[in-house]
Structure 1
């Protein structure tokens, strides 16, 4: 997939562009992709609440994503 990054005048990346062919492939694989900005279903809200409660009870379970990537790289 070819990706083009769009930057503002200060060089900050503000958007990503993909080709229409890539967009069509994404839409074929994920037909609901256009609706991702809609409201969360109640079951997803409940799941998020459960996970946040688990983190609050045991904050040591939460680790930076960089640690996960490092662990995954070691497994190769």
Structure 2
């Protein structure tokens, strides 16, 4: 099952989403290109197949981050 877009926004809403994620110990990856693509996906919709490769690479990188004590290779 593909991941879903569970939150998105611009301006103050975007800052609130980022702050809340960080407060809950979630890693925030910043990629303007990926954000631009994901902003085109409806909220609560599955990631489209065209983005699977980019999302898979990001998830693999995050897995490395968690398993290597915070020292991953760049995605």
- TM (norm. structure 2) is 0.30
Greater strand share, structure number: 1
If asked which structure has higher relative contact order (CA below 8 Å, sep 6+), I would say: 2
> Whose Rg is larger?
1
- TM (norm. structure 1) is 0.30
